[in-house]
Amino acid sequence: MAVLPILHHPDPRLRQPTEPVRDFGAETQRLIDDMFETMYAAPGVGLAANQIGVQLRLAVMDCSRDPELRQPIVMVNPQIVEQVEPALVEEGCLSVPGGQEMVKRFRKLKLRAQDRHGQPFELDAEDLLAQCIQHEIGHLNGQLYIDLLSELKRERLLKRLKDAKQQD
């Protein structure tokens, strides 16, 4: 397994919609393992393939707080089929390091996807897991959480991050 570099905003590859996964062979399995390794090392709770420059509809997640109780989830070709209870939640992103803002997400959802071997599954998710699923599917659609902010908030956040980076 390998820790891969994570793309940062404004890399244009983050804005490109991803392509469906059709091959679940050894190369895809290695990619999934590398994505988990990268996500855990970051550290983060989710990582979409396009965040490492791979334009496939594939994301990994683990919302557990304890490394001893990991709950890894692989979602391939995911779709949200139902979502309810909008809520404001604080969100950040490995591709927008240092930034966190309140955004609107849905507290509950139903996901339809394939697992790492191509087997279909459905998942009812709530709270942090639901938020993470929405965030990662946003990535797969070429969107970042900052797109959910007002133009003014987005500009302020990006300016603050740029200023902080220049001071490093």
Identify which of 91, 146, 90, 136 has the alpha carbon closest to the alpha carbon of residue 109.
136
* Total residues belonging to the chain: 168
Tell me the sheet residues that pair with 58.
76
**Active-site residue (options: 91, 122, 136, 155):** 136
CATH of the domain at 57: 3.90.45.10
Asked if pLDDT for residue 32 goes beyond 90, the answer is yes
Give the total number of structural domains in the chain.
Answer: 1
The pLDDT tens digits for 36-81 are 999 999 999 999 999 999 999 999 999 997 888 899 999 999 999 9
Averaged pLDDT of the chain? 95
| pTM, to two decimals | 0.94
Q: Is residue 92 part of a domain?
A: yes
Q: Is residue 6 included in any domain, yes or no?
A: no
C-alpha gyration radius of the chain: 16
The answer to whether residue 2 is domain-embedded is: no
Provide the pLDDT for residue 168. Answer: 67
Q: Verify whether residue 136 is a known catalytic residue.
A: yes
In a domain, 36, yes or no: yes
In a domain, 73, yes or no: yes
- Over 80: is that where the pLDDT of 167 sits? no
Query: Which structural domain range is residue 127 located in?
Result: 12-167
Q: Who contacts 136 (Cβ-Cβ below 8 Å, separation ≥6)?
A: 46, 47, 48, 59, 61, 75, 78
Residue at 160 is within a domain? yes
